[in-house]
Structure 1
Amino acid sequence: MSKTPLLDIKNVDTFYGNIQALNEVNVSIDEGEIVAIIGANGAGKSTLMMTVFGTPRAASGRIVFAGTEITNLPTHEIARMRIAQSPEGRRIFPRMTVLENLQMGASLDKLKYFDEDVEKVFALFPRLKERISQRGGTLSGGEQQMLSIGRALMARPKLLLLDEPSLGLAPLIVKQIFDAIKELNRTEKLTVLLVEQNAFAALKLAHRGYVLVNGRVMMSGSGRDLLADPEVRAAYLEGGRH
């Protein structure tokens, strides 16, 4: 008997006005998995992630999380179910300090576990501890990305959604961030849905992956199999960022 996925996206269509961004998308994620969504710019990767959170809303199909349908729930109720997101472009609070940004992430849990959780974030990203009193807007791009992920972790998520965490960052910083994601998954069994243009890094990290083309899932498989697939290599890996 197959187990129920933690997140099950079934036949989802999403529109921006009259433009269809997602077309009968099916994606499932088991508890403890890292799943990567790869594809070109405009393929619908970020739209898929935002549709899970209800902005935009799925026009048809179903999204089920931990056995509960969340397709039409308000965004704040979805967040309360312990789904956290580190959005594309980081979107930290630039005028707030590192510590205040982390407090904002923990607000859903009423700061009950704040001291314990902030130490976990600092262990994962020691640079943030060094910058604890610095305003978010003065951090480097890599530090801001670490803060965005750290803020999401403060909500103690069952599912972490990461949208383009490597975007615009130097290879060394990308490696640090992907190593941190791998460590979280290994030690905390954290389930991660990762949207990435850096297909090589994403598939190397992920247990499974989906290839999105023009809003449709065109291929899926283990990270290793997709890395070795000639079509995937030609479209997303040859001459790409390794």
Structure 2
Amino acid sequence: MSAEALLSLDSVTACYGRLPVLHDVNLDIKPGEIVALIGANGAGKTTTMMTIFGRPRASQGRIVFHGKDIAQLPTHDIARLGIAQSPEGRRIFPRMTVMENLQMGAIIAGDPDGFDRDLEHVQTLFPVLKERADQRGGTLSGASSRCLAIARALMGQPKLLMLDEPSLGLAPLIVKQIFAAIEELNKDGLTVFLVEQNAYHTLKLADRGYVMVNGRITMSGTGAELLERKEVRAAYLEGDTAVLKETNGA
């Protein structure tokens, strides 16, 4: 576990019931980085992100954020420490307006004086949210709801933003816009943990990345290094269905 890390997973195992789904996962995210976790559908990427938030709990190992082991903390306490998650899919409050969703996100920050500043920031990043401030979340398009989910997470003033499949199901132009927004947020100093199946865009953007296969980390390296790995290219960049062979790292 790196002493410099903002977040570290140290030999983490997690289960659904009695079924192990994560196996001895080791992963570090340093302040100011974009770190990617890529892998096929069902590899355990989302479970890794959810385990950081305590659902499911890590059955073995440590999850350390800012020097504090958070593996057994309640989810709401983990969020208050400065970790925000934008989960996969349309995970917004559908009956609430866009503005009400953003207000809900701001509650975790506990900073009423910063609300207007944060609101202006997310509306500049995603202009559609200003245009549709009074529209119910459940009536938004897939692209707009994805922007809202990210913006709601940002309203909590996180130290670490965790994004689960932000490009899933979106048109290429929207995917480009989402990744540009992630890059801009990172340039402003936000640390980002990015879980994605879109390996090419993700590894181009990421400082470092990890590859997960069947709940295990099988490769790691810089984004550029992983893009050049023949196993990664075969499995994720060239449409090959071959399963990645486990290896000890990049």
Q: TM range, normalised to the smaller chain?
A: over 0.9
What is the match of residue 108 of structure 1? 108
**1:232 equivalent in structure 2:** 232
Aligned-partner Cα distance in 2 for 1:128–1:223: 31
What SS does the aligned partner of 1:5 have?
coil
2: CA distance, partners of 1:92 / 1:161? 15
Q: Deviations over 1:152-191 (max 9, x none)?
A: 00000000000010111111111101100000001x2100
Helix, strand or coil for the counterpart of 1:113? Answer: helix
* 2:172 is aligned with 1:168: no
- Aligned mates of 1:89, 1:139 — CA distance in 2: 13
Matches within 5 A, 1:199-214: 199-214=199-214
**For residue 244 of structure 2, what is the aligned residue in structure 1?**
none
One-letter identity of the residue aligned with 1:118: L
Inter-partner Cα distance in structure 1 for 2:132 and 2:15: 41
Task: Give the corresponding residue for 1:121.
Answer: 122
Q: Counterpart of 1:59 in 2: which secondary structure? A: strand
Q: Work out the CA distance in 1 between the residues paired with 2:117 and 2:94.
A: 24
**1:94 maps to which residue?**
94
Question: Structure 2 counterpart of 1:170, which letter?
Answer: A
What is residue 190 of structure 1 aligned with on the other side? 190
Give the drift of 1:202: 0.8
State the match for 1:141 in structure 2: 142
Residue of structure 1 in register with 2:219 after alignment: 219
Q: Does 1:72 align with 2:62?
A: no
Whole-angstrom CA distance in 1 between matches of 2:99 and 2:122? 11
Q: Which runs of 5+ in 1 are unaligned?
A: none
Counterpart of 1:34, as a letter, is I
1:41 aligned counterpart, secondary structure: coil
Query: Which contiguous aligned blocks of 4+ residues in structure 1 show a shift greater than 2 angstroms?
Result: 109-112
Shift of 1:18: 1.9
Question: What are the Cα deviations for residues 86-127 of structure 1, in whole angstroms up to 9, with x where unaligned?
Answer: 011131011111100000000122333111100000110111
SS at match of 1:203: helix
For 2:233 and 2:108, the matched residues in 1 are separated by: 42
Shift in Å at residue 201 of structure 1?
1.1
CA–CA distance in 1 between the matches of 2:25 and 2:109? 32
Shift of 1:3: 4.8
Cα deviations by residue, 1:212-235 (Å, 9 ceiling, x for unpaired)? 000000000000010111100001
In 1: Cα distance, 2:175 partner to 2:165 partner: 11
Once the two structures are aligned, what percentage of the paired residues are identical? 66
Per the normalisation by structure 2, the TM-score is 0.93
Equivalent in the alignment of 2:154: 153
Alpha-carbon distance between aligned partners in 1 of 2:139 and 2:203, rounded to the nearest angstrom: 32
Q: What is the root-mean-square deviation in Å for CA atoms of aligned residues? A: 1.1
Deviations 1:9-51 (A, max 9, x none): 0000000112111000000000000000000111100000000
- Distance in 2 between the 1:57 and 1:178 partners? 30
Gaps of 5+ in 2: 241-250
Amino acid across the alignment from 1:139: L
Q: Distance in 2 between matches of 1:167 and 1:233?
A: 20
2:217 partner letter: V
